[in-house]
Structure 1
Amino acid sequence: MSATLSEATPVSFVRHPIRLTLNGQLRELQVLPWTTLLDLLREQLDLVGTKKGCDHGQCGACTVLRDGKRINACLTLAVMCDGAQLTTVEGLADGDRLHPMQQAFIKHDAFQCGYCTPGQLCSAVALAHEGRAQTREQISELMSGNLCRCGAYNNIRDAIEEALPLCRQPEQGGDQ
């Protein structure tokens, strides 16, 4: 007795449907269970702004925003993002109008080779929304998951420090 294709196909090769909002656009996708968000973005959706650095979650080059919070796309399975709202560096600008953090990075020359810049930008935008960084030291500490091989840290800090007030989201509700 021979097995049918569905009986012979290992469960791990079954593609899983996911729905997510990516840079403001609803996407319905089929992904293999082991596909990382980073590989989905770069290889299947051709959003190559998010970089593959260490592939171990140590450098932050792959940082994107999931529901407004920063995550390492290399450590996140795509199936974990079902129902999520994702923002990559490509989604920060509003058409031709750059995000205030992008403008500040340009103004302060907060990049040299630029490889880490997309992850730095996404992380800095999330940092601004978190509202926890008030000083240069806090910016340094809270951005420590994003490494820059060129050593442009002073310029990155300058850019973030300038853009923080422009990027903060107003408090939702709160005690009166």
Structure 2
Amino acid sequence: MATRNRLPPWHEMIRLANGREVLIRPIRPDDAVPLRAGFPLLQPDEIRQRFLHSVKELTADQAERLTRPDPRREFAIVAAEPLPPGEALVGAVARIAIVDGSRQAEFAILVSHFIAGMGLGRHLMRRLVRWARGKKLERIHGDVLEHNHAMLALAQSLGFRREAAETPGLVRVVLDLH
């Protein structure tokens, strides 16, 4: 029997449709610098779809906050080059956070256009759902721009339903976990 190369929990190597291998792993504090450096590579529409408005840069404070999730109530993973954190280019980030005082969580995903359309968003969303189920949450939700057809189609294919969002131009997608 072949010896398996075991990775730590929440780590996995996957091969994208273009043949590139990426490491899915929890975000690390050392990822702050590569995240900030890679931010200018994002297209304005990618930024709007994730942040729901235009953002010119990822500040040091924002990067620090993103890369240090509270493990009791937050989970964030990245798809990165298979290099050490701090050296690896990060191509995607997925985050979920429990809403205070509830059994619900809100998610957000950003996949760079360089690796979009290769099934990575689906893969990351499934990991977020797995984490939420492990926390015994009742449901997860995310607010999506109504013209982000790719994300809306992905959510629907994974069993999310649409609800009206409080902000015009947004659609809330909800997945019940019971």
Normalising by the residue count of structure 1, what TM-score does the alignment of the two structures yield? 0.29
Which of the pair is proportionally richer in helix? 1
Greater gyration radius: 1
Higher RCO by CA contacts (8 Å cutoff, separation 6 or greater): 1
Normalising by the residue count of structure 2, what TM-score does the alignment of the two structures yield? 0.29
